[in-house]
Amino acid sequence: MTTFFCLLSIFFYGLDAQVFPSLLTRLGSSSLQQGLILGSAFFFFPLSSILAGYWADRVSKRLLLMAAMTLMALPFALLGLIEDVWMRIAAVLLFGLGSGAVESLSCSLLSDRNPGRERSILNISQIFFSLGAAGGPALIAGLLHLLPGMGISGLLFLVALVTAAAPFGFLFDGGEGGSPAGPPAGSWAAVLRDRTLLRLSLSLFLYVAAESGSAAWLAKYGELYLGLSPSLSPICLSLFWAGLGLSRALVGFFTISLSNRRLLSASLLLSTAFQVLSFLMRDRSLALASFFVLGFGMGPVWPTLIALAGSLFRESSGTAVGLLVALGGLGLPAVQLLIGLLSAPHLLGLRACLIALALLSLANLLVVQGCLDKGVCLSQNA
């Protein structure tokens, strides 16, 4: 599972940085079109996450996960065949169908198999995702430079092939793990009514909007404001994901006794500060170093929030995690469309939009304090 995340994130975030939006800028597309492409990739993400999570508590999580992983190969193949920008937006819509299911199913499956260690395990699993995302932009830039004959279409077909082949690894998997029997009737409605889950969902929404809004536009920011060439601009994204992966590794392996409240508070405070500082820096070296620290601050938030849901709703982990991932995932298309619209030079501009994302992390800090002050999940894995 983690190997798949690593491979997929290498390609997706590499293409995300190179093709959407940096490359499209050189092809003459507007910032609004770029925002639509980035947003449409996750338009169906919430729906597929909810449905996959619901059925995961009733049938095999492992088989559903294999099907979702296979589905993710389709949009990459279609993108390799389609040249029109608006048709690509339509094809990218399919990506959300697979990715929403993959995220919710993999997280709930890992939670089921590691009761009492959810936070550590989910942070560790996300290290591989971060490694792929950090190396992906540089790898894609290198491949396009070394193999110019391959082109974007050839690269997309390669991604589709790798993505379609990866699920077969689950044929050698040991099974579902130690999750309890199916949830009681009506558990979906019961989970939806739970105030703690709604607070966690709001927190995840704010985090996803801040993280995805920053990461998706870093390469373009590097070109516009730091004077980086198209082949070097992905280093901005690589540094962000490297910092994010390092903090998840530290949390996964070395912070067993640190409470969730202190961990999330520290992460969100650091994220808020460097969301501002990173994009105020005029010096290129200091800006690049700040991107690393920004990622480091954001790293533990997502897996820790998901781990809380998995541990709180153990008998219906698929439903709870699916709903949490879905409600949090609403931040993806929302923030990309907003940045795509407002980052036009005659409006706010990209720098102001990225700095404004600090408000999301600050609001998230208040949400987390309100949630955890209720006595919920103050220990590491409670």
Residue numbers of the domain that contains 18:
2-372
- Report the pLDDT value the prediction gives residue 287, as an integer from 0 to 100: 93
With H, G, I as helix, E, B as strand and everything else as coil, classify residue 219.
helix
On whether residue 240 sits in a domain, the answer given is: yes
Is residue 117, in this structure, part of any structural domain at all?
yes
CATH assignment of the domain containing 122: 1.20.1250.20
382 falls within a domain: no
- pTM score, two decimals? 0.74
Of the candidates 195, 289, 182, the residue with the CA atom closest to the CA atom of residue 243: 289
In a domain, 377, yes or no: no
pLDDT of residue 346: 80
In a domain, 380, yes or no: no
Is residue 344, in this structure, part of any structural domain at all?
yes
Q: pLDDT of 148-161, one tens digit each?
A: 666 667 767 777 77
What DSSP string describes 277-319? HHHH--SHHHHHHHHHHHHHHHTTHHHHHHHHHHHHTGGGHHH
Q: Is the pLDDT of residue 241 over 80?
A: yes
Given a contact cutoff of 8 angstroms between Cβ atoms, the answer to whether 256 and 367 are in contact is no
257: nearest Cα among 369, 124, 379, 377:
379
For residue range 295-322, list pLDDT tens digits in order.
999 989 988 888 887 777 766 667 778 7
- For position 364, what pLDDT does the model report? 92
Residue linked to tokens 């533990």: 300
Residue 379 lies in a domain: no
The answer on pLDDT for 33 being more than 70 is: no
Chain-centre distance for alpha carbon 327: 13
Q: Which residue has the tokens 């792929």?
A: 132
119 φ, ψ to 5°?
Answer: -65, -45
Asked, for residue 281, whether it belongs to a domain, the answer is yes
Contact 381/307 with Cβ under 8 angstroms? yes
- How many independent structural domains does the chain possess? 1
